[in-house]
Amino acid sequence: MIDVPLEQLTVEIPEDVREPFEKPPQGILEWEVKALRARMTEPQDTNQVSRLVLEAELVCLAPDQAAGIDFKESFWIGTDTDPQAQLPETWRTEAGKLVKFCDMSGFNARGATPAQLAGWLVGRKILSDCQHFAVNALLPNGQPNPRAFTQMGELKSRARMRWMEVGSATPIIYEDQDAKAGKGGSGGVGGVPGVPQAPPPMMSYPNTPLLPQGGGVPPTLPTPQAPQAPGVPHMPTPQAPVAHMPVSAPMGFPGQVPPAAPPAPRRR
């Protein structure tokens, strides 16, 4: 790097300096594709094979608070058996995310070569619903992930995009930036941070009073009696014997004790 005298820098720092972002903020963001590059990964951790990865380089256009932020979206194509993705079957099984990204950008990538994709993608605009997710603290082999923590020992979070067509939503930054980052932020309706969530509706039963929210068992409704035919006397439904009540005699009423038998006549 070349030293520059500070006296040559006469521009005053503006009052409304934009807050820096280590990664794209959570929200609906509009992007422009600047380039599409092909790279081979470096063997590391448990992946000992270099694989083909396509990277789309994007710059944020809106909203204003996030304009100018750079982001790279990776599309992993190579596999352990076909690291350089030279077989059509590899693209058939691994290029779904790339094709979806192109669909949301406004053109069909099926039948095109990677070089053609690069020419068509540059300058395209696309929306994303950006959410933050905590990085896995453990590797697949169960060992600690050294890249999962900052120098201060805090667990890192990573931006994850759900790509959408331009015009399908309005660019906006969510107020609660911790809602999806595993930091205890509040959620919202449909998982959108910064929007208060309505309480769940209370369930009710016909002709039954509402229960207090948070527990309780609906009361048992009486079983309706079947309608009687005209001219047929109503007969009560037989009741099961109750332990603390004497058993009624046939054709009697519940709780009635049968009369005692008359005494036998005396013999003279």
Question: pLDDT band at 2, cuts 50/70/90?
Answer: confident
Q: What value does the mean pLDDT of the chain take? A: 75
Angle CA(85)–CA(88)–CA(93) in degrees, nearest 5?
80
The structure tokens listed for 44 are: 């590391």
Residue 193's pLDDT is what? 38
Please list, in sequence order, all residues whose beta carbon lies within 8 angstroms of the beta carbon of residue 21, skipping any fewer than 6 positions away.
66, 69
Question: pLDDT band at 260, cuts 50/70/90?
Answer: low
H-helix segments, 61-152: 88-94, 96-105, 114-121
What is the residue whose two structure tokens read 């006469």?
A: 10
Please list, in sequence order, all residues whose beta carbon lies within 8 angstroms of the beta carbon of residue 216, skipping any fewer than 6 positions away.
none
What is the residue whose two structure tokens read 């006296």?
A: 7
Amino acid (1-letter code) at residue 203: M
Residue 37's pLDDT is what? 94
Please list, in sequence order, all residues whose beta carbon lies within 8 angstroms of the beta carbon of residue 118, skipping any fewer than 6 positions away.
35, 36, 37
Amino acid (1-letter code) at residue 249: A
Q: In percent, how much of the chain has pLDDT > 70?
A: 62
Among 41-55, 73-87, 142-156, 193-207, name the one with the lowest average pLDDT: 193-207
* Residue bearing the bigger pLDDT, 241 or 155: 155
Count each helix (H run) and each strand (E run) in the chain, helices first. Answer: 3, 6
* Residue bearing the bigger pLDDT, 90 or 224: 90
Residue 99, SS3 per DSSP: helix
The structure tokens listed for 159 are: 């931006």
Residues 82-132 have pLDDT tens digits of 999 999 999 999 999 999 999 999 989 999 999 999 999 999 999 999 999
Cα(9)–Cα(204) distance, integer angstroms: 71
Q: What are phi and psi of 146, to 5 degrees?
A: -65, -20
Residues 164-200 have pLDDT tens digits of 999 999 999 998 766 544 443 333 333 333 333 333 3
pTM of this prediction? 0.58
Cβ atoms of 29 and 128 within 8 Å: the answer is yes
